[in-house]
């Protein structure tokens, strides 16, 4: 059979704040069936799945369980991987965002963004809910209270790094218009365009100082990298992306 070329397939990575739910299992089984079909059809398949292991919610859950965050995610990621194995899913790599190669690369990606001016230091200002440990804009509040828990909010300011997402809006809009197959189904493409890109992208806060359980920014270690840059990078770090020269698998 002729080799039809490389085919890369991933699932979302499961968040390790608790036990996996039926939705996680549904996703891995669907992805596994696609991977098996593509292999049988002659593609050189690389199938990746894994777990998303940083953030305040995990730090809090670990404290509640009387464990360190690392002990806690070792337990929950272990449960997830055990289930995937029990269902005989044929993944090639189970990446954990606490894996050393991933953490090192996320630090390098963050630094590269900073050096090329895509990340800058600023301050996050807004209405803060202590209960949810989250910032909201005034327009997001419900009757002056937290839209999530209904609790009191107060004005607060926190030093943070921001990703210049606004800079990329025009080229994303152009790319998606020129490649209508890029986001499928079309209802999701429309959602992305109408709800996010066309109204205008805001710069995104990509660091936190209010908790510790994350990948430290290597040139400013009071900050940890926010989950957007950490977890989402797994799809490239897991196959050997490197700012200094990527692996053959990535290429
Ligand atoms: Zn709240």
Q: What CATH code is carried by the domain that includes residue 23?
A: 3.40.50.620
| Three-class secondary structure of residue 31 per DSSP | helix
Contacts of 149 by beta carbon, 8 Å cutoff, 6+ apart: 129, 131, 132
Name which residue leads in pLDDT, 188 or 137.
188
Confidence at 184, pLDDT banded by 50, 70, 90? very high
How confident is the model at residue 21, as a pLDDT?
84
Residue 19: pLDDT band with limits 50, 70, 90: confident
How far is ligand 1, taken at its centre, from the CA of residue 17, in Å? 19
Tell me, yes or no, whether 248 lies in a domain: no
Going from the Cα of 161 to the center of ligand 1, the distance in angstroms, rounded, reads 23
Q: What is the dihedral of CA 142, 148, 154, 157, to 10 degrees?
A: -120
Length of the chain: 251
What is this structure's pTM? 0.88
* Cα distances (angstroms) measured from residue 99 to each of 54, 87, 104, 142: 11, 23, 9, 40
Question: What is the distance in A from the centroid of ligand 1 to the CA of 133?
Answer: 7
Residue 57: give the domain boundaries: 1-98
**pLDDT for the residue numbered 66:** 97
Q: Is residue 73 part of a domain?
A: yes
How many angstroms is it from 131 CA to the middle of ligand 1?
A: 5
Q: Is the pLDDT of residue 133 over 80?
A: no
pLDDT tens sequence across 31-84: 999 999 999 999 999 999 999 999 988 999 999 999 999 999 999 999 999 999
Task: Give me the number of domains the chain comprises.
Answer: 1
């Amino acid at each position: 059979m002729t080799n039809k070329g490389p085919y890369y397939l991933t699932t979302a990575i499961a968040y390790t704040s608790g036990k996996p739910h039926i939705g996680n299992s549904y996703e891995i089984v669907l992805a596994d069936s696609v991977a098996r079909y593509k292999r049988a059809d002659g593609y050189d398949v690389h199938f990746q799945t894994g777990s998303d292991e940083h953030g305040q919610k995990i730090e809090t859950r670990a404290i509640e369980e009387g464990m360190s965050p690392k002990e806690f995610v070792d337990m929950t990621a272990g449960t997830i991987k055990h289930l995937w194995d029990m269902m005989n899913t044929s993944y090639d790599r189970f990446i954990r965002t606490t894996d050393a190669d991933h953490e090192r690369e996320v630090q390098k990606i963050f630094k590269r963004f900073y050096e090329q001016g895509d990340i800058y230091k600023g301050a996050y200002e807004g209405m803060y809910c202590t209960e949810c440990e989250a910032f909201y804009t005034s327009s997001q509040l419900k009757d002056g209270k937290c839209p999530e828990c209904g609790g009191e909010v107060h004005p607060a300011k926190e030093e943070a790094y921001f990703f210049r997402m606004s800079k990329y809006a025009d080229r994303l809009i152009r790319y998606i218009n020129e490649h209508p197959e890029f986001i499928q189904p079309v209802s999701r493409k429309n959602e992305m365009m109408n709800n996010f890109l066309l109204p205008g992208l805001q710069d995104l806060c990509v660091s936190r100082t209010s908790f510790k359980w994350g990948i430290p920014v290597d040139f400013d270690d009071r900050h940890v990298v926010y989950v957007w840059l950490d977890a989402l990078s797994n799809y490239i770090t897991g196959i050997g992306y490197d700012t200094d020269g990527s692996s053959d698998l990535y290429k």
